Structure 1
Amino acid sequence: MQINVRVLLPVFLIATFVVSAQQTANDSVIFAKLDEVVVTGQIEPQSIKKSVFNVKVITAADIKRQAGNNLADVLNQYLNINIQPQSGEGRSTVSMFGLDSQYLKVLVDNVPLVSDTGLGNNIDLTQINLDDVQQIEIIEGAMGVTHGANALSGIINIITKKSTKNKWEITATVQEETIGEEYSPLYDEGRHIQALRVAHSINDNWFVAVGANRNDFEGYKGEFGGKEFTNNPNNPEQERGYSWLPKEQYFTNALVRYQKGSTRLFYKFDYFNENIDFYNSVTHEELQDDNITKLIYADDRRYFTEKFYNHLNAVGKVFGLDYNASVSYQKQQRDAEDFKYYIQTDTELNNTEETYQETEVLYATGTVSNFFKKEGLDLQVGYELVNTSGYSSALSGIFNDENQDDNDHEKRLENYDVFTAAEISVTDKFSVRPGVRYSFQSKFDDQWAASMGFRYLLGKGLETRLSYGRSYRTPNYDELYTYFVDSNHNLQGNPDLVPESGHSVETSIKKQTFLDSGLQLSNTLSASFISIDDRIEQAVVATTPSLRYRYINISRYKMWNIATTHRMVYNNWQAKLGASIMGISRAINTGLATSDDKYLINYQFNANIGYNIPKWNTLLSLYYKHNGEQQQYVQDGSLTNPKFVLSEIESFGLMDASVRKSFFKNQFDVTLGARNLLDVVNIQSSVASGGTHTTGSTNMLMGYGRSYFLKLTYNLNF
């Protein structure tokens, strides 16, 4: 295993800063705490130390240090998580433990977010704004009992702000950022962000907040020629278009909260609007009416996406019991506008707009707890109701149903779940948390989930945890209803698919140390295992008269992971160091070929450092993550001798840095920084035969190069 200087450099930096920190004697404010309050997966909010689950917390201070604008910006630097950019679609999704975004659930205030294919999964992280986020909580492993279907690899819960320390808090932000080497405030290059948030505590009971954010991403040309490109005699291989599609996003949100005694009510509304421009690389010539002039045109497309998010939540007591209930209505609609774009004259013709995809969800969940008026014993009983309506038009190109005249497809999926969990403090040091869920399904056989968690405090700051979870993933819209048949393709969904079932085991030991000198240390070692049965894959179901593929339950997946993290806080210093090694085994039988099921190894390393200079009111931050070489078996595509061969994706590192200085008693912040300092754009994916000889390679777009940003924030608090 070869590790280059780019991997080792952050290690030496961490070591140097730790030694320096121990020699610092300034009376400075510690700006990070090792113990936070968490709500995800808990019967009631409690300190992370008391949680039976191993919860990772990303605080608002962490987000500010990274100068993150969306969830993809932040998660890029965390272990066991990979961001998967889909530049041709303008999206970024997330995978955990090698499982894609269909197995990971993303929530806001415990309510899963609507997506193209359902609820909570396959979320585009660039559509999640972080202006009003209090903290982000991550739990790894199957969480089916508390969060239902499709939470096999874990959950990410975004907790939003619902209070202020001041009567008024007004925040205005302007940010300018390069996209690689491309930037111009006037000529459609770079990234331009403006944001405003106003929060007001009317009195002890009422709180309101509103916010708006515009994110104008002008796209990344890279090796392409952009919108106005026609041809280049000096480089005939260059094509029109963008490596990363341009898009403009608008985020708006409003929150009203009422609180009196133990009763709290809030209503949250979010509206999101996105415009993505697709510029076709294929151009055509058209002879004009004068029979002399030729104009070059392309068949271009715009995607318009709208999202509506409504969430009403009530927390309080009734008949001595604690209740927490939420109702949410969400809708996502994507329209597509096709048109002929004449490049020389900058004109459009034959514009037609049609609904491309639509998802509508009515969601309700609630819990009742505190049945026993006894310290150390609590029982929670809950319900979840989901009604999802999905629609895709023939324009999307993959849902053309041979049994429908209009070639549109609309289906409804429902589930009604009940669950219960208990927390039992056997002793002051030993806690147990069992749980079970039963789901009544409209489309599939009824499903169930179960979990068991243990926490033991060994004393002297040592904590141990062990948890088991059994969960399930229901097939998505594509897998159920795809029908894509022409002269070259025959790929069909399968309405008879059954849900996948998964099991996870996670154990960890954590040591926290607090010294009189002010030094705080937190060291964690964890191990986990995930297995999934009946995994859905494409398989050949017929070979004559041509190959026909269909989604069926054929695959098995197993993963083991060992990870360690170490965190230090001392006076003005904060540092974190982590590493993980993971083995993944997949057993696939497509009907023509069978993959090897041996474990393939991957490793990751991350580090971050922060130093606060009180005299200058300045914070320095550096983040680094190394993604080791990844391997997986892929089908070679041969029809005469089909087989699975080993594909290798080369290792790469991501480094971000920023300097934030505050002026005028923290009323004005200036942040100067850089993303992707190692200038990663394409990484190589090669297919090897026999594990040694490369038989082919391709480039995968992973980033858009080194980018610089300047962020100005005005804070008015009174």
Structure 2
Amino acid sequence: MIRFLVFLFLLIPIFLTAQVQVLLRDKSTGQSIEGAVVYALSPQGYTLTQIVTNEMGKGTILVSSYPLTLSTSHIGYETANAEIVVPGEYSLELEPNLTQLDEVVVTGQFEPQSASRSVYRVRTISMERIQSVGSTRLQDVLNTELNIRFSQDLALGGSNLSLQGLSGQNVKVLIDGVPMVGRQGTGNEININQINVNTIERIEIVEGPMAVIYGADALAGVINIITKKPEEGKWSGQVKLHEETIGDEFGFKQGIHNESVSLGYRKKSFYTRVDVTRNYFGGWQGDAEDRDKEWHPKNQWMASGLAGIKTNRYDVYYRLDYLYENIYNPGLFSGIEALDQNYFTNRFMHQLQANYAVSERMNYTGALSFSDYKREIQTVTVNKNTGDVRLALDPSLQDLTQFKGLTFRGTLSYKMSDAISIQPGYDFNVESGSGGRLTEGISSIGDYAVFVSAEIKPNTWLSFRPGVRMVKNTAYDAPPFIPSINAKIQLTEKHDLRVSYGRGFRAPSIRELYFYFFDASHAIEGNPDLQAELSHSFDASWNAKWLVKQDLKFTTVLTGFYNTVENMIGFGVKPGNANITTYLNIDEFKSTGFTWLNTVAYKKLELGAGLGYTGRYNQLIETSEAPADFLWSPEINGSATYTFTTIGASMSLYYKYTGRTPFLATDVTGLIELNETEGFHWADLSVQKSLYKKFNVSTGVRNLFDVTRINNMAANGGPVHGGGLTRPVGYGRSYFISLSYNF
């Protein structure tokens, strides 16, 4: 009997302990939430107990005292709290945590922050995306991006890009926030294929006016290359080998052979990293005859070194990038001799960067950069019978052109309150050029600017960023003030709207003023009478994100833009000599259009689809028979990636259709006529697989549709008189395999 009474006494706490039944649901979809942690907290905030919800979103909490507070925790949802005063059944609805869809960005920001909180529209390309396309050059990564197009200069081996319908001379290319120097060829653009893709951690693209922060040539936007840094507390590195056919050509001196090695170390505050890459491109015969090649062979060596010290207060590092490139252009034999040309490029880029937290509210960022870019053309005579190679005697066949650039910029970010932050800054740039291709011998242009911007958040749903830049250019008079305004409106938790306006000013470059280039494929002169470009740019975007459930996410971005440029610098026929091309001011140039990007992520599948439509206008349209003020061209792209988690593999497909592109050209009589370039399809397919944790293999097909050239056609169906009969796009379908070892 006594034992029975003791047993009943021990059961009393259990009878007195009441149950709280909890059911968690997604507020957007009503679906149950599995795997959420629910804490039972005392009135003093102590944890009494905790449970994890099952596949039905349910859980049972046993407590003996009330009141209490239930607090939830789940990586995909906002925290929810509920006051419980009596036992019973309770249902809680959790808000999806949309910040889980965000990426942290740095371009144009006061401090690193999520893309959704930025007043700028930032497009990010991750390292995983770069690796998935098996790229050996940056163009391979950007080929299927909306609003970005490429054109090829096969004679000089360069690739020119356009963004928002504006040429690459209006696109600022940065490496870790520092501008590159050494604009190439005839187009006055940075050759992005001279950047080592093996060192890239991610790419941030900001479309729209960025002139207040980054200066003259950031009218169309900014492409910021963020490089890899050493991992914490250990040695790390990678050895990579990439082999690829060029069309159906492959061999020891054919195809693409890419080898790279990287090594990094980080211990306490010190870190360092070294990267070396060789990229050999064997050229492609195409329709060229005999020893000539349609795509010329190219050999690149790229090396970089980094050393720095990072503490809780500051991060200071020095970085050196080196590029050596040789493009070989074999000529046809005339009799027993042929003229072969080598285009040598040597570029050193020194960077010293510092980030210093002055206080909890104040941060300074500074950068000092010096670039030395040399482009040499060496012409040799080859004897067919003896194989003897000698330097060609004609001095006009040899050239050495050099550009040097110095950049000194810094910003001081100060958070006055939670609602207001300000950022004054300075940006000093000096570029000099010398060589036989510049008619003025040694020339230099300085651009000295100070700017200030503020980020104002009067409430939780509105933030805007006004800014102004004041410029002193040594060659041209700039407007006294270059203003901009950006605003972000949080319409709902899932929807936001961004609008921006920016004024722009770009002085002609040394190349545009004094360039002198005559060979078998080019006859180009600079124009010292050029005027500076002045521009207005407008941009708006609507962004929406839905986390339907933890494993189903949707995003959509609808963007519109409008740019107008006075005195736009472009190519034209030299007055008085129709055989020479020169740089001319176009009285007025406009570009406008929209893009619509959509992504879906469901469990192991990621899908993307986009549509773009871009129109261009210049004053030549008024004198032609063009059907409208703007000449329009469409784009469509898509992507699909599926991950096989059980075997550590994934498959990716990237696709883009570039529609017919109208353009204006001059016929033999000097009249302006409307022509168009035909559209084409481009697609890349790849498979990636992890082996033994440290090895990765990637294989695939590039240029699935086997595109090589596209036709230029007169809009009325007649023959084309300007722009050439065809334009090069690719070197045919190619197959690649990459193997990397990571440690």
State the TM-score bracket (shorter-chain normalisation). Answer: 0.7 to 0.9
Residue 14 (structure 1) aligns with: none
Which one of 541, 554, 568 corresponds to residue 535 of structure 1?
568
Tell me the distance in 2 between the aligned counterparts of 1:38 and 1:502. 27
Amino acid at match of 1:382: G
Which one of 59, 62, 71 corresponds to residue 126 of structure 2?
59
Residue 298 (structure 2) aligns with: 247
Residue 237 (structure 1) aligns with: none
Indicate conservation of the 8 Å contact 1:542/1:549, yes or no: no
Q: CA deviation at 1:98?
A: 2.3
1:84-103 matched pairs, under 5 angstroms = 84-103=151-170
Residue 340 (structure 2) aligns with: 300
> Quick check: 559-568 or 342-351, which moved more?
342-351
Indicate conservation of the 8 Å contact 1:264/1:315, yes or no: yes
Amino acid at match of 1:133: I
Tell me the distance in 1 between the aligned counterparts of 2:262 and 2:582. 49
Change (3 A) 1:417 1:38: same
**Per the alignment, in what secondary structure is the counterpart of residue 284 of structure 1?**
coil
Tell me the distance in 1 between the aligned counterparts of 2:370 and 2:148. 29
Tell me the distance in 1 between the aligned counterparts of 2:523 and 2:255. 41
**Per the alignment, in what secondary structure is the counterpart of residue 169 of structure 2?**
coil
Change (3 A) 1:537 1:637: farther
**Structure with the greater relative contact order (CA < 8 A, sep ≥ 6): 1 or 2?**
1
Which one of 286, 301, 310 corresponds to residue 222 of structure 1?
286
- Is 1:276 matched with 2:308? no
CA distances 1:648-702 after superposition (whole Å, capped 9, x unpaired) = 10000110011111111x20111111110100001001123xx354556712111
Indicate conservation of the 8 Å contact 2:427/2:448, yes or no: yes
Amino acid at match of 2:136: N
Indicate conservation of the 8 Å contact 1:151/1:472, yes or no: no
- Is 1:709 matched with 2:698? no
**Per the alignment, in what secondary structure is the counterpart of residue 730 of structure 2?**
coil
CA distances 1:309-338 after superposition (whole Å, capped 9, x unpaired) = 110001113376310000001011122222
1:39-188 matched pairs, under 5 angstroms = 39-116=106-183, 122-164=189-231, 167-184=234-251, 186=252, 188=253
Q: Which runs of 5+ in 1 are unaligned?
A: 1-26, 230-239, 286-295, 402-407
Residue 587 (structure 2) aligns with: 555
**Per the alignment, in what secondary structure is the counterpart of residue 349 of structure 1?**
strand
Tell me the distance in 2 between the aligned counterparts of 1:107 and 1:391. 24
Identity score, percent: 32
Residue 418 (structure 2) aligns with: 375
1:497-576 matched pairs, under 5 angstroms = 497-537=530-570, 543=576, 551-576=583-608
- Is 1:333 matched with 2:389? no
TM-score by length of 1: 0.84
Runs of 4+ in 1 over 3 A off after TM superposition: 343-346, 350-355, 482-486, 489-494, 537-544, 546-552, 593-597, 691-697
Change (3 A) 1:538 1:594: farther
Which one of 609, 617, 631 corresponds to residue 662 of structure 2?
631
CA distances 1:27-76 after superposition (whole Å, capped 9, x unpaired) = 9x99x973101111111111101100111000111111112222111111
Tell me the distance in 1 between the aligned counterparts of 2:603 and 2:112. 29
Tell me the distance in 1 between the aligned counterparts of 2:421 and 2:543. 25
Residue 355 (structure 2) aligns with: 315
Amino acid at match of 1:312: L
Q: CA deviation at 1:446?
A: 2.6
Indicate conservation of the 8 Å contact 1:104/1:121, yes or no: no
Tell me the distance in 1 between the aligned counterparts of 2:382 and 2:515. 31
**Per the alignment, in what secondary structure is the counterpart of residue 478 of structure 1?**
helix
- Is 1:652 matched with 2:695? no
Q: CA deviation at 1:342?
A: 2.1
Indicate conservation of the 8 Å contact 1:537/1:555, yes or no: no
CA distances 1:426-459 after superposition (whole Å, capped 9, x unpaired) = 1111001001101101111134422101101122
Which one of 656, 670, 679 corresponds to residue 697 of structure 2?
670
Tell me the distance in 1 between the aligned counterparts of 2:598 and 2:467. 31
Amino acid at match of 2:546: T
Tell me the distance in 1 between the aligned counterparts of 2:673 and 2:460. 54
CA distances 1:503-524 after superposition (whole Å, capped 9, x unpaired) = 1111111111113342111111
**Per the alignment, in what secondary structure is the counterpart of residue 632 of structure 2?**
strand
CA distances 1:465-496 after superposition (whole Å, capped 9, x unpaired) = 1111111222123331246799xx99754333
1:187-202 matched pairs, under 5 angstroms = 188-201=253-266
- Is 1:610 matched with 2:663? no
CA distances 1:163-185 after superposition (whole Å, capped 9, x unpaired) = 4156121100011100001111x
CA distances 1:2-32 after superposition (whole Å, capped 9, x unpaired) = xxxxxxxxxxxxxxxxxxxxxxxxx9x99x9
Change (3 A) 1:542 1:63: closer
> Quick check: 120-129 or 252-261, which moved more?
120-129
Change (3 A) 1:678 1:521: same
Change (3 A) 1:551 1:681: closer
The count of corresponding residues between Structure 1 and Structure 2 is 640
Indicate conservation of the 8 Å contact 2:586/2:618, yes or no: no
Tell me the distance in 2 between the aligned counterparts of 1:91 and 1:548. 21
- Is 1:449 matched with 2:482? yes
Residue 93 (structure 2) aligns with: none
Residue 609 (structure 2) aligns with: 577
Residue 498 (structure 2) aligns with: 465
Change (3 A) 1:650 1:554: closer
Which one of 386, 406, 410 corresponds to residue 429 of structure 2?
386
Q: Which runs of 5+ in 2 are unaligned?
A: 1-54, 56-74, 77-98
Residue 343 (structure 1) aligns with: 384
- Is 1:683 matched with 2:707? no
Change (3 A) 1:680 1:170: same
- Is 1:213 matched with 2:264? no
**Per the alignment, in what secondary structure is the counterpart of residue 114 of structure 1?**
coil
Amino acid at match of 1:519: L
CA distances 1:334-368 after superposition (whole Å, capped 9, x unpaired) = 22222111234433123679552110011110001
Tell me the distance in 2 between the aligned counterparts of 1:33 and 1:429. 19
CA distances 1:256-289 after superposition (whole Å, capped 9, x unpaired) = 12111121111111111011111123x222xxxx
Tell me the distance in 2 between the aligned counterparts of 1:96 and 1:256. 34
**Per the alignment, in what secondary structure is the counterpart of residue 508 of structure 2?**
coil
Indicate conservation of the 8 Å contact 1:587/1:594, yes or no: no
Tell me the distance in 2 between the aligned counterparts of 1:83 and 1:523. 25
TM-score by length of 2: 0.82
Which one of 307, 312, 335 corresponds to residue 261 of structure 1?
312
Indicate conservation of the 8 Å contact 1:75/1:83, yes or no: no
**Per the alignment, in what secondary structure is the counterpart of residue 102 of structure 1?**
helix
Change (3 A) 1:540 1:330: closer
